[in-house]
Structure formats: structure tokens, C-alpha cells
Chains A and B, each alone.
Chain A
């Protein structure tokens, strides 16, 4: 690990250099208050003044839908054509943690060739950020990153402090070595420490994640699950936007006029009704409350037991996305016995009045 300095005026020329080598992806404003990661054609589109994108970076490694292979009666042809060399610039620490969790999952017992190939082709350049009212990454300890990136840019007014996190990151610096300053001064260090302190003070939300495995166990039979189930629209949005949700379905699409089938892989969501349906017409989790319980057990209990940390990186996407306010914040607050201001709570009060 090495830290260098880059004057902000040199950022664009550095990105231009990178875009000669690979597709450049970066945050772009799609709506007044919402950003997405997009393949950059025009450098002016890049907008680093963002908190979170609608979909997390998992979409670059594992697109919502892609063709895995073509199957014929005798053989199959793997299809990696959706994978290309990409550089993702402007990733926040929570999302880098999300990608690390994804990687852990897709490589744990049987390495997933599609994920691994896409990961091999992805360069990650992180960027510092400032929390809004939904950010929970200090509670999940994912506001700091130590691995999982090639370069990481911390925004300090006129300069960036640039962490070099891999040998590939160092190669990137060597593309334009003249613009990077090896001399990080005491003044820079002090400025960084001040920035860190202020950033840490800026968090407005907090959850005690350490208590969650026990609370989940103690409250598995709690009426709150029914209450959540009553309000859940089962739209699957929380799952789509979650940086650590990795479930998928594999679909068989026979090709008309050919003895062949396109096998596609697409995101699935345990919050959708069909997820737990099995042959014979049975469904293990027909009830929305059971599906939500599964989602939260996985994030707040099972993952912690196995890996020592929650499968939540505190990005706040579920908080910003769920139309009925079912999210990590309100569910955790409710499990902790706190007062909850959420549509799902108001709905149940109204219907049972």
C-alpha cells in the first residue's frame, strides 16, 4: 500500500488515459436526486457529487440478465460475450465492501466462471464520500476500506490523496506518473485526519449490528413479521438494489426453428413469491412475512454467524428505495424496541383500528 497525491485539475486527463485501455464507468446523474453507474462517452457527464447509485456495482460483474450458454442436444457453448474490460471509477467504500462480499460468495465452494471472468476484467477505483441521513456504513464498519480496490481517491479540497491498493493500481499510476506527487506532506496528513474526523461525525443514523443475531433469534416469532408482511408489496426492489444480494434464476429459452436453447441467467429475489416455488406446485415461503424473515435472517444473523459481519454494508439503498419503508433501518429499529416511523407501521395501525 502506497499513498500519492493528485491535483484535482489532473483528474480528467488521468481518466482519459484510462479510457484508452478499457471502458470507463462512473456515476452519472439520471434524475434530479438519483445517480447510476454508466459507461462514459462524454467526460462532462461524470458527477462525483453523489451519495448512492440506484443499482450497486454488482450489475457490472453480474448483469440483471445475460446468456450463459447455448445448449444443443450434444453440447454446450459457453458465452462470455457480455464481459469486457471495464474500469469503474467513483465507487464508495460501502460498495467496495459489497463487491468483496459478492466475491466471497461466488468463489467460496465452486468458483463461478462468469463472475470470476468479469471480476478479472474489472478495475476498481474508489472515491471518498459524505453520509446522508440514510447512510449506515459507520454502524456496519464499512465506511473504511482496506482492500478490494486498485486505487482509492480521497477528496481533500484541491487534491486527492490516492491509495494504491494493487499492483494493477500501480500500473495505472505509471500511465501518467508525472501528474502524481509522491510527496504527501504533514499538512496533507493533518487535512486528511480532520476530514476523517468530520466525516465520522456527519452520520445521522446508527444501528447496533452486534446485537442483531441475538435479537433475530429472540424475535423470530414476533408479530412484527406479520406486520411487515401485511405491508410488503413483494416488488423485489430491496433485493435488486442490495449490493450483497446475489441470488439468480436460470431460464431455458428454446430457439424457434433450431434444436437449441439459450440458457440465460437473471437476478432473482427471495422476496418474490415464485422464488421458493418447487416442482409439484409447492411453495415453502408463500407468505410475504416468511420471505422478509428469510431476507433479514440472512443479512442480520446467518451471515454474521458464518463470516463475523453482517451482509449489510450500510449503503442505505433499501432505505431510499422501499415504497412502504421496509428497510434495514426500520426493521432493526423495531427489533431493538425503538419507535418506528414507517408506512408499514401506520398501515397496521390503520387497518387494525
Chain B
């Protein structure tokens, strides 16, 4: 008996749609992707989308409106496996940059004033796991082609994805780049998930951390190292927070507690 194809839905919440675009950009593999799986929903690629039961939902983007809370809950309810893809879905992205709620409210007011939103109510941006349980995370800004194809093919075969918990420094060294951090530049390679192949440092630009923080990242040591190299503590905290999403809030607070 021939097995039914795995039913997959690809969804975009708030973000730049770069992850969905990257999947479409797998041009050589696109026919294989669409033949190997039953792509039920993929708004960027097709119009005949069905919102039914799914084996796997791939979700990019952060949750930024009340309507998106409903949307992500609906996806969770329909899908056996939910995967957060890309920086925004995994940690919150730039729009989910860590800041206390009161600061967010004040920022919101200064941009939109008292304008009433009719479509849906905006909320402080959060990664999708702030609202639902997530089975797997595929980081990236956008996600990497090789990691995505590896992940996708494993999932189709019913295998769990392989995690890549290594910092950018690993690829960076393998490419024999000069360590920018050692040279006194503001490089976030040791804190950031690899998968980009150290592309910025390959071009002599420091890592800004756009793939999001790696589990177990040593923020305290990096913070003090950058401070010793002459960077201003406030500047360091701002830069650390840029791509690290909401989850590093506690870490930043702990750094502040350590060094008032």
C-alpha cells in the first residue's frame, strides 16, 4: 500500500517573509519538494490553499496582533508537529526585541499616538512559543538552504531533525577567518547559532547575531570582554538585544544586577 504523502502547511506571521521566500528559492529542489510532500498551504507559492489537518506546520514570523494569536492557536490545533522557522518565530526577531512592557507601550504610543486600529489589535511582539507549544526550532535570518533541506527531508522520512547547536565561531574558524573579537571588534559570533557559515565574517564584517542566540551562550563573559575592549555598557546591551528576541530579557537583567 502506498503511503499517503505528508501534509504540510507553510505559514507566515509578522516578519519579512524571508523564510518562505528561501523555501521558494530552493529552485533546483522545488519539484522534489512539491512531489515528495502534499503542500496544503503556502500563501507565497500558490492560491489554492486548504486550512485542514496537517502533519507538519512550518511557521515563520512573530505574533504581533491578536488575530495572529488566534491564527497560531488554530495552526497548533490542526498540526501534529509545529516547527518555528526563522529568527522571528523562534525568538521574536527585531520586532520582538527585548524591552520591558511599559517601554513598549510608550514606544507604541509615540509612533501611533491615539490612532484606533480597526483591523486587529496590535500587541507586543513575541515568538510563537509564547502562545503555543513548539516541537522543533529551525533558526536563521533567513533559514539556511542546506539546513532547511536536511530538516525537511528528515521530517518526510519520519525522523526528528538534527540539531546544530554550535556557534558561528565554528564555521568561522573552519573558514580560517581572523577572529574579529580578538582584534577588538564587536562580534557576537560566540553567542549566535551557526548555519550561515559565518558569511559576514568571511567578508570581514562582524557577526550581529541575526540567527539568534545559541543555547548555553555565555552572555556574561562576552559582555565583560566587550566592556574591557572599550565598548560602552549601554551600547553592548542594546546590540546584544537586537536579534536576541524576548528570551534574553532575564540575562540582560542579570548582567545589570551584576554590574550596576
Chain A interface (Cβ within 8 Å of chain B)?
A: 30-31, 34, 36, 53-55, 64-65, 230-237, 240-241, 251-257, 267, 269, 272-274, 286, 288, 321, 323-324, 343, 346-347, 350-351
Contacts and interface: CB of A to CB of B under 8 A. Distances in A.
B134 interface: no
B167 A234 contact: yes
Nearest to B169: A235
A235 B189 contact: yes
Contacts of B167: 233-236
A65 B36 contact: no
A286 B216 CA distance: 9
Nearest to A236: B170
A346 B189 contact: no
B165 A257 contact: no
A39 B150 CA distance: 31
Interface-central residue, B163, B165, B225, by most chain A CB under 10 Å: B225
Nearest to A230: B221
B220 A234 contact: no
Contact of A272 (B157, B170, B178, B228): B170
Given A34-B178, A272-B166, A347 B150 contact: no
22 contacts: A54-B177, A230-B221, A231-B218, A231-B221, A232-B218, A233-B221, A233-B222, A235-B167, A235-B169, A237-B179, A240-B170, A251-B162, A252-B162, A254-B153, A256-B149, A256-B153, A274-B166, A321-B173, A321-B179, A323-B179, A323-B181, A347-B224
Given A235-B189, A256-B149, A324-B221, A240 B215 contact: no
A291 to B, nearest CB: 11
Interface-central residue, B29, B177, B190, by most chain A CB under 10 Å: B190
Contacts of B176: 30, 36, 53-55
State the main secondary structure of chain B at its contact with A: helix
A36 B175 CA distance: 10
Contacts of A323: 179, 181-182, 190, 225
Interface size class of B (residues with CB under 8 A): 35 or more
A36 B173 CA distance: 11
Interface of B: 29, 32-33, 35-36, 149-150, 152-154, 156-157, 159, 162-163, 165-167, 169-170, 173-174, 176-179, 181-182, 189-191, 215-216, 218, 220-222, 224-225, 228, 258
B33 A234 contact: no
B174 A64 contact: yes
B216 A273 contact: yes
B178 A233 contact: no
Contact of A30 (B178, B190, B224, B225): B178
Interface-central residue, B159, B169, B177, B228, by most chain A CB under 10 Å: B169
B251 to A, nearest CB: 14
A272 B220 CA distance: 17
Given A232-B221, A234-B216, A255-B153, A343 B228 contact: yes
B135 to A, nearest CB: 14
B218 A254 contact: no
Given A235-B190, A272-B170, A350 B224 contact: yes
A236 B216 CA distance: 13
Contact of B29 (A30, A31, A256, A343): A256
Contacts of A324: 221, 225
A351 B224 contact: yes
A227 to B, nearest CB: 11
Contacts of B190: 233-235, 323
A237 B220 CA distance: 19
Given A274-B163, A323-B182, A234 B152 contact: no
Given A256-B29, A257-B35, A321-B182, A237 B169 contact: yes
A254 B32 CA distance: 13
Contacts of B218: 231-234, 288
A254 B157 contact: yes
Given A256-B36, A274-B163, A343-B225, A267 B182 contact: no
Given A267-B174, A274-B163, A347-B221, A236 B169 contact: yes
Contacts of A241: 173
A232 B156 CA distance: 38
A324 B220 CA distance: 12
Nearest to B218: A233
B197 to A, nearest CB: 11
A72 B114 CA distance: 63
A48 to B, nearest CB: 18
A324 B228 CA distance: 11
B126 to A, nearest CB: 26
A273 B165 contact: yes
A236 B214 CA distance: 13
Interface-central residue, A230, A237, A273, A350, by most chain B CB under 10 Å: A237
Contacts of A53: 176
Nearest to B164: A274
A273 B170 CA distance: 12
A343 to B, nearest CB: 6
B173 A236 contact: yes
Contacts of A274: 163, 165-166
Contacts of A256: 29, 32-33, 36, 149, 152-153, 156
Contacts of A236: 166-167, 169-170, 173
A284 to B, nearest CB: 15
